[in-house]
A and B are shown apart, each in its own frame.
Chain A
Amino acid sequence: MDRRHCLKVLGGAGLASLAGARCADASAGAPSDSVGVLVDLTRCKGCRRCEQVCAHANGLAVPPITSDEKLETKKPTSDKQLTVVNSYQTTKGLVHVKRQCLHCQTPACTSACLTKAMLKTKEGPVVWRASKCMGCRYCMLSCPFDMPKFEYDSPVPRIMKCRMCWERASQNQPPVCVEFCPHDALAFGPREALLETARERIYGAPGEYVTHIFGEREAGGTGFLYLSPVPFEELGFPTQLDEVPVPEHTLGFLSSVPVVDTLWPAFLLGLYLATRRSKSKHSADDNGPSHEA
């Protein structure tokens, strides 16, 4: 977002400081050296090892992986399972898709959060903080990927989603899913470097991949990036998303707030004084039935 433009408009109204904070917060993307994960769907064998280690690392029930459940498509992540592998029958055979929070560069959830419980860390992962959250679930409503999940069966509910193992990521260690992937389908590193890797793979093996990196631009860019052998529509990705970061949809409204908050009372006061004067002139004509109830 052109934060400068926003500041200029509001600066004109003499409200630069107030509005500046709002614009900056709503549109600040992650720093360019933020980390991410590259998911190469041509390499994933659907072993669901990532589901297991993820559950372990987050203290959740470890899903059994012997059943045919993995063949189920469109099984969403939940408050009890933060990453899920779906399988799709495609024109190029079976393709497995690991799903989890995508860690947007300009997340809708952090901009929606009125207590800053959702936070885009400077390292890149988007994390949730229990002590701040009031459980309004506006993050869930805003997220274009429906990733924040809520513990509906708990009197002390948490918002559950992948945190890209932030404690590890902040020490430049990969998340557990990346570390334990036996097929090298996942790669961890600075997002910019991962984009380079992704492009190299696309150009290095013509025909192997579609020439699109999902997450490079979608919703303003995401921390998790996907390479696929088939068009992303076939794999249930939300391809209708535009490239505008979701929070920008509210910027117009938010930047009008300080203007209305300051100019509206002045206008109303003027109107009050103007009509009062005219009324006292014509007070004798006033035949209102009751002015003193």
Chain B
Amino acid sequence: MTTSLPISDYSPNARGTMRFLLCELRPKGRILTPFNVISVALMLATAVILYFRFTRGIGSVTNLNQEYPWGIWIGFDVVSGVALAGGAYVITFMVYILHLEKYHPIVRVTVLNGFLAYVFYAGALLLDLGRPWNVINPIIGNSFGVSSVLFLVAWHFALYMTALFMEFSPAIAEWLGWRGIHRLLRMLTVGAVILGITLSTLHQAGLGALFLMAKTKIHPLWYSESIPVMFFVSSIFAGLAMVIFEGTISHRVFHHRLSPENARAHDAIVFGLARIAAGVMFVYLFLEIGKFVHGRKWEVFTGGWATWYLVEMLGLVVAPMILLLVGSVKRWGGVVRAAALLTVLGVIVNRLNISVIAFRWFDPNHYVPSWMEVVVTAGVLSAEIWTLRWIILRMPVLGESPAWARHEEEPETHQAGGATRVA
């Protein structure tokens, strides 16, 4: 592992900064790892497929058709990906709004994960747009379709990505040694967090509201007027489960980047998150049961679809909820991590059910994604992981901020820290 020097070791001028950046661009770590080989192959294949997609049309690489206009590029990449990126607004809410300092060590990595998820998964939306050159139309103002749920989602996406970038930007300033800007950016953090939570509430719900107009096309076990509420509530535990899952992986892979404090705090954080996630899942189940009873869904509770619905609700919500709760009480790390993975899976299944699987459930020629759609999805995911790794290996994300940045903490927090250290 080559370690590079921090920017403070370079001459403090443009030339020094340039040399620092060039040095940072070099790869760190071994190059020929199984992950690298597979992910590069996937990304190259994605590039080839996208060439055909942009020269011969979407139909040349996907199985989309006139009856199924949205496939896994929307249902998995965007609708599921955004739900799983919900951790960013939940954790920032807990740390910056409720001041639950226990969770402070994971704020940065969660915000980074959220930001990259939005950039890459919402970015994958551009691949699915038939006329992507018109993507700015709803933003620049010559054609505001204000009655569209998608208009709302697009605006909230764009603004939320800005908010997430602002929340993460102090880490970039620390990496580049920009002290003045760092101070300014830190002052903006709480504002960005409040904006970000508001925007998340609406666009998480909005992704569900997109499907409200497809009333006759979604199986009645999954369609209800409360899809937006259910999407919002499930994004909370989806995000938390993803934080647990990602934390497990990044703590193995990036062990050397962790500060000892963070490594020690991690178990307590995981058990805390598991308990919160289980609580929110209970609320979700309660709402789901209410929806079922009020919607008189017993009438449509028949056949294979009823079984599939039970698999989702019992196997992928009730079971992980119990495991998260029991695991966190008994402090069984492995159980909690497995339950988190099951929860993530459950949210993906739920989103795919509404957007793809139970969509036009009556159609004998149901859409099944082509292998090229799957490869592009994997390629986008690979690109995201590469970017994430590049940033984590260079910027203070998992580890401690440089000393000068730490001294800049709010005075009261600093005092509190001093007291803790003395104690």
Contacts and interface: CB of A to CB of B under 8 A. Distances in A.
Q: State yes or no: do A and B come from one complex.
A: yes
Interface in A155-172: 155-157
A207 interface: no
Nearest to A157: B130
A144 B216 contact: yes
Given A25-B146, A155-B57, A264-B198, A142 B214 contact: yes
Contacts of A52: none
Contacts of B228: 253
Contact of B415 (A76, A134, A283): A283
Interface stretch (B17-25, B101-109, B286-294, B328-336): B101-109
**Most A CB atoms within 10 A — which of B55, B131, B261, B400?**
B131
A254 B152 CA distance: 8
A138 to B, nearest CB: 5
Given A79-B66, A246-B213, A116 B145 contact: yes
B158 to A, nearest CB: 12
A111 B420 contact: no
Interface stretch (A54-62, A65-73, A209-217, A266-274): A266-274
A249 B212 contact: yes
Contacts of A138: 69, 148, 150, 210
Nearest to B400: A293
Given A137-B130, A155-B54, A290-B265, A268 B194 contact: yes
Given A152-B59, A157-B130, A288-B102, A264 B201 contact: yes
Interface in B403-423: 406, 409, 412-417, 419-420, 423
Contacts of B146: 21-22, 25
A150 B202 contact: no
Contact of A293 (B54, B70, B97, B259): B259
A78 B64 CA distance: 14
B174 to A, nearest CB: 12
A261 B216 contact: no
Given A134-B135, A152-B65, A286-B420, A253 B215 contact: no
B202 A260 contact: yes
A141 B69 contact: yes
Interface residues of B, number: 85
Contacts of A268: 93, 97, 194, 197-198
Contact of A264 (B99, B197, B400): B197
Nearest to A134: B134
Nearest to A140: B69
Given A25-B147, A146-B66, A283-B412, A114 B154 contact: yes
A249 B67 CA distance: 21
A167 B154 CA distance: 32
Contact of A253 (B206, B259, B268, B412): B206
Contacts of B190: 272
Interface string A103-129: 000001011111111000000000000
Contacts of B66: 76, 78-79, 140, 146, 149-150
B201 A111 contact: no
A234 interface: no
A140 B57 CA distance: 17
A264 to B, nearest CB: 4
Given A132-B134, A135-B132, A138-B148, A240 B201 contact: no
A291 interface: yes
Contacts of A250: 149, 209, 212-213
B252 interface: no
Q: Looking at chain A, what size class is its interface with the partner chain?
A: 35 or more
B212 to A, nearest CB: 4
B10 interface: no
B223 to A, nearest CB: 10
B132 A253 contact: no
B15 interface: no
B63 to A, nearest CB: 10
B102 A153 contact: no
Nearest to A109: B213
Nearest to B144: A116
Interface string B103-140: 01100100000000000000000001111101101100
Contacts of B309: none
A64 interface: no
Contact of B131 (A22, A26, A142, A156): A156
Nearest to B396: A293
Given A135-B131, A153-B56, A293-B400, A261 B202 contact: yes
Nearest to A138: B150
A289 interface: yes
Nearest to A268: B194
Interface string A1-44: 00000000000000000000110011000000000000000000
A249 B143 contact: no
A199 interface: no
A115 B134 contact: yes
A52 B325 CA distance: 66
A291 B259 CA distance: 13
A279 B99 contact: yes
Nearest to B66: A149
A79 to B, nearest CB: 7
B58 A146 contact: no
B37 to A, nearest CB: 32
A260 B264 CA distance: 38
A292 B417 contact: yes
A108 B58 CA distance: 24
Closest 3 CB pairs of A and B: A135-B130, A152-B59, A25-B147
21 contacts: A25-B147, A111-B148, A115-B134, A134-B130, A140-B69, A141-B69, A141-B70, A141-B211, A142-B214, A150-B69, A152-B65, A153-B56, A157-B58, A157-B131, A250-B212, A260-B198, A286-B416, A287-B420, A288-B104, A291-B416, A292-B409
Given A79-B66, A292-B417, 19 more contacts: A78-B66, A112-B148, A113-B148, A114-B148, A114-B150, A115-B145, A134-B132, A140-B69, A141-B217, A146-B67, A149-B66, A157-B57, A250-B213, A260-B201, A272-B194, A289-B102, A290-B261, A291-B420, A293-B399
